[in-house]
Amino acid sequence: MLLGLILVFCFMTGDMAMADLKEKISTKAAVFEAKDYSYLFDKLEGITENQLKQHNDLYEKYVAKYNEVNGKLTNADVLSANQNYSEYRSLKVELAHNLNGAVLHELYFENLTPDYKEPPQELIEAIEQDFASWNDYLEDLRATGMASRAGWAVTGYNYRDGKIYNFIIDQHNIHVPAFTRPILVMDTWEHAFMIDYGTDKKAYIKAFLANTDWNVMLERLKVTLETDALLEKSTD
C-alpha cells in the first residue's frame, strides 16, 4: 500500500516536473512571416526574374519550415533528449538550419538593389582599416565565395577584436563564427545562380557585385559599431 502511494506520488511529481520543465523552456519565438522581395524580380542586372522568383520560393519554404519546427519544439519530449539520436536533437538541428536559411536569405535579398551605386567613401575607409585596399577586400570576398560550398560568403564584424572579416558558411549553419555580425551576405548555393549561369559561379559573383547595395552594408556596419560601443560600455 505504502509502496503504491510512493509510486503514484513519484509518477505525479514526475509529470509535474516535466510540465514545469516544459513551461520553463517552451520557445516563445514569434512566428516568422516571409518578407516581400518581388520589387527585385525583373530589376537586376544579370540575375533574371526566373532565377529570383525561384530563389524567393526557396526562401519562403525556409520560413515555413522554421515555423513548423519551432512549433513542434514546444511539445517535444525534453526528458528523452539524447546526443546520439532524439527527436529533441533533430528539431534543434533543423531549427538552426531553417532559421539561418530564412535570416541569411533576408540579409542577401536586402543587400541587392535595382539601383546600383558605387560604394560610399565612408564604407571604403572603414574596410581599409582591416584590408590593404578596397580592391583587396573585393578580391578576398570573391575568393571566399569561390571557396564556399553550398552555402554563403559573408562579410562580418567580429565583436571580439573589432575587425571585419570575410568568412564562409557551408549549408546554413556550418562554420558560423561566434560573436560576429553579418554586414554583407552573398548566397553561394548553386540554386542562387544555376538557372542563369549553370555552374559558372565566378560569373554569378560578378553579377552579384554589380547589384550589391553598398549603402545597406554601410548602414549595417554603423548599427554594428553602435552596438559594439554599447557592449563596451556595459562591461566598463
CA 32 to chain centroid, in Å, comes to 14
Among residues 109, 131, 137, 189, the one that binds Fe ion under rule CB under 5 A = 189
CB of 34 to Fe ion, least distance (A): 13
Q: Which span sits near Fe ion by CB under 5 A: 9-17, 64-72, 185-193, 217-225?
A: 185-193
C-alpha cell at 49: 526574374
* Cβ 191 vs Cβ 184: under 8 Å: no
Among residues 94, 106, 187, 213, the one that binds Fe ion under rule CB under 5 A = 187
x/- string (CB under 5 A) for Fe ion, residues 112-131? --------------------
Work out whether 106 is an interface residue with Fe ion (CB under 5 A): no
CB of 118 to Fe ion, least distance (A): 26
Phi, psi of 67 (to 5 degrees): -60, -40
x/- string (CB under 5 A) for Fe ion, residues 190-219? --x---------------------------
Minimal CB distance residue for Fe ion: 187
C-alpha cell at 4: 503504491
Tally of CB atoms within 10 A around 141: 22
CB of 135 to Fe ion, least distance (A): 27
Q: Which residues bind Fe ion (CB under 5 A)?
A: 187, 189, 192
